[in-house]
């Protein structure tokens, strides 16, 4: 069943898009992540232009994260003050990111740049995930667990402009959260990800936030930053494809329900190792696309 | 009659050995249940047991984050129970039995009652709002009633300290 995507200017099988949306939604329900970091590369692998893939995936991330945010907010797991601080950084980062994106698009380098970003970041993230779950599996066999010091003081605690984050039980400088928000916002704009998979560890290990409110607060940042990215991408780059997004969201909503229902029944380490391998294989796929000899060395198109 | 005396000593011993189980959740009315159990234990003998059921950690993409979540939840539960234990020992003069389990609240509660023969009565308080008495009570008086092996005391959540004093 072919549908024509008006912005991507190509025809794609609607069932394939629904299937991708379902699969990514399933993973995001399972792990409570937005899933953008898998969606954008998958879309690129089926031939959708990177600009459209990034903008539409940001939109899908927004849809997938909102219900999570509402659920966490009802349970009181959102630190608004920290969320707003992160978002302030994220707003700047994503605005700058969209400018860079628009510039790359004008130069005609956007496909290469987005692919490179993905290969590097997915490669690192995937490798870390696999390594972590393999250590966890080995440790389970040996049955020993090292304990981490609860609160460590680093040079980050010497920075000025300290602020009290009551819900996070923190009294820290606003610079690290602003910087983290900025970095994630930049990645969000260029890669079309929500950034939760990097934001969560950053909030725990760098800021030292209690884990109970990390997920909700990160979702707060993800929702508002990806909303900003979608808006700016649509306005400045004009690359949000509504047909594509609708199909992905339709599949994603259904998949997320399945994933959330299964999430409690699966063994953590094995599933995480599989996720890590999946991330790595997507990175390899993109890297292969970058270096393989193209089937057509030249393409001709009308000059606008 | 020597028989009655023997029965009476046995009864006081049993009274001293009985255990009131209170489920510690985040509801407002749980304090009423705890107070009721403490007063009964003080006036009629017996001990109080506190059960806190931890929600299992949902799957997160980083294993280290998941482990930390679990550790922090456990530490929070330990802190909460330690605070309540001080309250209980003020009221009853004895330390309560503290139990932390991980899983689904109803299943863990029923499992604990099955495993631990010391527990003689379950004390729960009913929510005061219009939304029903609370999920545990609804389950244990409804669909899962047949699985409960010990009696259950239901304390109205709106009872004041004086009223609780009068009825215990």
pLDDT tens string A125-184:
888 888 887 887 787 766 555 555 555 666 777 777 888 888 888 888 889 999 999 999
d(CA A69, CA B87): 36
Choice among A14-28, B6-20, B23-37 with the minimum mean pLDDT: B6-20
SS3 A88: helix
What is the 8-class DSSP label of residue B128?
Answer: -
CA of residue B109 relative to chain centroid, distance: 9
pLDDT value for A263: 66
Q: Give percent above pLDDT 70 in chain A.
A: 91
pLDDT of B20 strictly over 90: yes
Residue B26, chain A, CB below 8 Å: the answer is: no
Average of per-residue pLDDT values in chain B: 86
Within a 13 Å sphere around the CA of B11, how many CA atoms are in the beta-carbon half?
7
d(CA B96, CA B90): 11
Question: Closest chain A residue to B73 measured between Cα atoms?
Answer: A212
pLDDT value for A85: 93
Chains A, B: CB pairs < 8 Å: 58
Tokens 């899933």 sit on residue: A35
Using left for φ > 0, alpha for ψ between -120 and 50, and beta otherwise, residue B45 falls in left
pLDDT band for position B77 (cuts 50, 70, 90): very high
Chain A hits for B76, CB-CB cut-off 8 Å, are: 212
pLDDT value for A90: 93
d(CA A190, CA A99): 9
pLDDT of A242 strictly over 90: no
pLDDT band for position A71 (cuts 50, 70, 90): confident
Interface test with A, best of B26, B27, B57, B60 (most A CBs within 10 A): B60
pLDDT value for B111: 92
First to last CA, chain B: 30
pLDDT of B100 strictly over 60: yes
Q: Quick one: tokens of A161?
A: 């402009």
pLDDT value for A92: 94
Cβ neighbours, 10 Å, residue A138: 11
Q: Do A212 and B73 meet the contact criterion of CB atoms below 8 Å apart?
A: yes
pLDDT value for B23: 93
Interface test with A, best of B62, B64, B72, B75 (most A CBs within 10 A): B62
- DSSP-assigned states of every residue in A276-299: HHHHHHHHHHHHHHHHSPPSSS--
pLDDT of A275 strictly over 90: no
Q: Pick from A2, A47, A59: which is nearest to A230 by CA?
A: A59
Chain A hits for B66, CB-CB cut-off 8 Å, are: 268
With CB atoms and an 8 Å threshold, state whether B62 touches A132: yes
pLDDT value for A137: 75
Which residue among B59, B68, B71 sits closest to A268, beta carbon to beta carbon?
B59
Instruction: Give A155 or B152, the one with higher predicted confidence.
Output: B152
pLDDT band for position A6 (cuts 50, 70, 90): confident
Choice among A126-140, A226-240, B34-48 with the minimum mean pLDDT: A126-140
CB-based contacts of A82: which residues, under 8 Å, 6+ apart?
A165, A167, A168, A170, A177, A207, A209, A217
Q: Do B90 and B43 meet the contact criterion of CB atoms below 8 Å apart?
A: no
Average pLDDT value for residue range A87-104: 92
Residue B63, chain A, CB below 8 Å: the answer is: yes
pLDDT value for A83: 92
Q: Pick from A87, A114, A89: which is nearest to A100 by CA?
A: A114
pLDDT value for B82: 92
Choice among A62-71, A100-109, A119-128 with the minimum mean pLDDT: A62-71
With CB atoms and an 8 Å threshold, state whether A211 touches B65: yes
Element housing B101 (H / E): strand B97-102
For residue B121, list its beta bridge partners: B20
pLDDT band for position B14 (cuts 50, 70, 90): low
pLDDT value for B26: 83
Choice among A33-47, A77-91, A219-233 with the minimum mean pLDDT: A33-47
With CB atoms and an 8 Å threshold, state whether B68 touches A148: yes
Average of per-residue pLDDT values in chain A: 83
With CB atoms and an 8 Å threshold, state whether A201 touches B73: no
Cβ neighbours, 10 Å, residue B138: 16
Which residue among A136, A200, A263 sits closest to B63, beta carbon to beta carbon?
A136
pLDDT band for position B12 (cuts 50, 70, 90): low
pLDDT of B11 strictly over 70: no
pLDDT of A241 strictly over 90: no
With CB atoms and an 8 Å threshold, state whether B62 touches A129: yes
Tokens 């609240």 sit on residue: B105
Chain B hits for A266, CB-CB cut-off 8 Å, are: 59
pLDDT of B46 strictly over 80: yes
pLDDT value for B53: 92
d(CA A61, CA A223): 8
Q: Look up the pTM and report it.
A: 0.77
Q: Pick from A183, A179, A185, A178: which is nearest to A233 by CA?
A: A185
Q: Do A188 and A97 meet the contact criterion of CB atoms below 8 Å apart?
A: yes
Q: Pick from A104, A118, A116, A117: which is nearest to A291 by CA?
A: A116
Chain B hits for A132, CB-CB cut-off 8 Å, are: 62-64
With CB atoms and an 8 Å threshold, state whether A272 touches B72: no
Q: Do A85 and A174 meet the contact criterion of CB atoms below 8 Å apart?
A: yes
With CB atoms and an 8 Å threshold, state whether A201 touches B76: no
Instruction: Give B112 or A51, the one with higher predicted confidence.
Output: B112
Question: Closest chain B residue to A274 measured between Cα atoms?
Answer: B61
pLDDT band for position B84 (cuts 50, 70, 90): very high
Which residue among B58, B71, B72 sits closest to A263, beta carbon to beta carbon?
B58
Which residue among B56, B63, B68 sits closest to A204, beta carbon to beta carbon?
B68
With CB atoms and an 8 Å threshold, state whether B62 touches A148: no
pLDDT value for A264: 64
pLDDT of B1 strictly over 60: no
Looking at chain A, which runs of residues are DSSP E strands?
A: 2-5, 10-13, 162-165, 170-173
For residue B19, list its beta bridge partners: B47, B119
pLDDT band for position B29 (cuts 50, 70, 90): confident
pLDDT, tens digit (0-9, with 9 covering 90-100), for B105-130: 889 999 999 998 889 999 999 988 88
């Amino acid at each position: 069943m072919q549908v024509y995507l008006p912005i991507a200017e190509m025809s794609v099988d609607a069932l394939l898009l629904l299937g991708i949306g379902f699969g990514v939604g399933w993973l995001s329900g399972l792990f409570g992540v937005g899933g953008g970091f898998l969606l954008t590369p998958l879309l690129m692998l089926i031939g959708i232009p990177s600009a459209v893939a990034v903008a539409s995936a940001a939109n899908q991330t927004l849809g997938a994260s909102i219900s999570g945010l509402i659920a966490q907010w009802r349970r009181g797991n959102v630190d608004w003050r920290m969320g707003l601080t992160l978002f302030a950084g994220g707003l700047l980062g994503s605005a700058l990111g969209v400018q860079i994106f628009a510039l790359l698009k004008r130069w005609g380098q956007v496909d290469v740049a987005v692919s490179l970003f993905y290969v590097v970041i997915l490669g690192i993230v995937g490798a870390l995930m696999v390594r972590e779950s393999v250590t966890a599996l080995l440790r389970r066999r040996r049955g020993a667990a090292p304990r981490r010091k609860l609160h460590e003081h680093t040079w980050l605690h010497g920075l000025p402009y300290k602020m009290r984050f009551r819900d996070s039980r923190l009294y820290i400088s606003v610079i690290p959260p602003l910087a983290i928000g900025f970095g994630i916002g930049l990645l969000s704009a260029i890669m079309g990800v929500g950034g939760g998979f990097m934001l969560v560890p950053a909030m725990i290990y760098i800021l030292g936030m209690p884990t109970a409110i990390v997920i909700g607060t990160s979702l707060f940042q993800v929702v508002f930053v990806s909303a900003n990215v979608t808006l700016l991408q649509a306005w400045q780059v004009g690359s949000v494809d509504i047909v594509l997004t609708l199909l992905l969201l339709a599949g994603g909503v259904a998949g997320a329900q399945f994933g959330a229902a299964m999430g409690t029944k699966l063994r953590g380490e094995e599933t995480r190792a599989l996720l890590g391998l999946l991330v790595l294989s997507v990175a390899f796929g993109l890297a292969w696309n970058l270096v393989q000899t193209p089937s057509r060395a030249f393409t001709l198109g009308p000059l606008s | 009659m020597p028989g009655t005396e023997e029965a009476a000593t046995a009864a006081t011993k049993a009274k001293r050995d009985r255990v009131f189980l209170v489920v510690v959740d985040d509801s407002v009315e749980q304090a009423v249940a705890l107070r009721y159990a403490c007063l009964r234990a003080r006036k009629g003998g017996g001990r109080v047991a506190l059960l806190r059921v931890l929600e299992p950690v949902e799957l997160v993409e980083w294993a280290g984050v998941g482990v930390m979540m679990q550790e922090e939840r456990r530490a929070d539960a330990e802190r909460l129970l330690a605070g309540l234990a001080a309250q209980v020992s003020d009221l009853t003069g004895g330390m309560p039995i503290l139990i932390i389990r991980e899983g689904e609240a109803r299943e863990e509660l029923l499992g604990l009652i099955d495993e631990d023969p010391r527990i003689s009565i379950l004390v729960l308080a009913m929510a005061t709002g219009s939304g029903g008495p609370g999920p545990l009570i609804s389950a244990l008086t409804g669909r899962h009633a047949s699985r409960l092996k010990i009696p259950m005391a239901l304390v109205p959540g709106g009872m004041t300290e004086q009223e609780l004093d009068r009825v215990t």
